[in-house]
Structure 1
Amino acid sequence: MSTPSPRSVRRSSGGNNDGVERIGRHSSPNSIAIIGASKNPAKRGYRSLRKLLDDGYAGAIYPISPKESEICGIRCLPDLGSLPGPVDLALVCTPAATVASVIAGCAAKGVRGAVVLAGGFGEAGDDGRRLQDANASRCGRWR
């Protein structure tokens, strides 16, 4: 199956609107990668994809899963390196212990922003809080 064509998003032009444009890419992205996509309806990687489709998201959707060839009729990519072009937003649906490497991969690939949909951070105790703080520090340098 093919991926939908990216939709156009109105961007402001002229002036110093860097912050406004960054918010626009996150709130109205042209393309979304779902890292940790899954066929299991109980997983965040499935629910995220299903919600985008059910809500009629018109941009490009790139499910990333090394285990699946397609989910919900959309071809999966095995890894971030397989993305065919720029991505505005990544939904990170992987275990907390993998988030740092996933975010580093997103930055290296030029993904413009990420939302982490993972448990196992501050709510999981002291070890999770340390992991959360380390990831927050790394993400602050991603610009």
Structure 2
Amino acid sequence: MSPTRFASEHRWIYLYAILLLLALVVIGLIQYDGVKTTNEAHRKANQLSDALVAAGYSAPDTGGIVRTLGTDGGNVCDDPATALKSSLWKINLSNGSSGPGQRPVISDRRVVEAEALVLGVYCPDRLDRIQDRLDALRTDDTVRR
């Protein structure tokens, strides 16, 4: 049997081997990008956790931070200085009731500090635009420790 005849009869083996190799290369590239993103998300989550512990908060679950904020801060960093985001944020600082029973409250200073820490880690360029609003909020030490 001549080598050219063998190669022509088994061409499908070469074709499948090449397709399999290309598929493995594509999967490897996708996995590499995913691992790189996951490492960056864990690095930022650990940075935020360290900042929160240094500020006196209990250590949060970094896995939850990774799932919630990812690498870019997610919804927290989507233009936090807009009027809608600011009003929604202030509603969350209310007494927890809804409808006519909802009232503004003097929130604890540490809640505002925690928001600033998140913005400082995930989107420090946007912290400056909202810092004056954070400073203007009337806060106090309202939570017992």
Q: Is TM > 0.5 for Structure 1 vs Structure 2?
A: no
Instruction: From the CA coordinates, give the structure whose radius of gyration is larger.
Output: 2
> Could you say which structure has the higher strand fraction?
1
Higher percent of residues as helix: 2
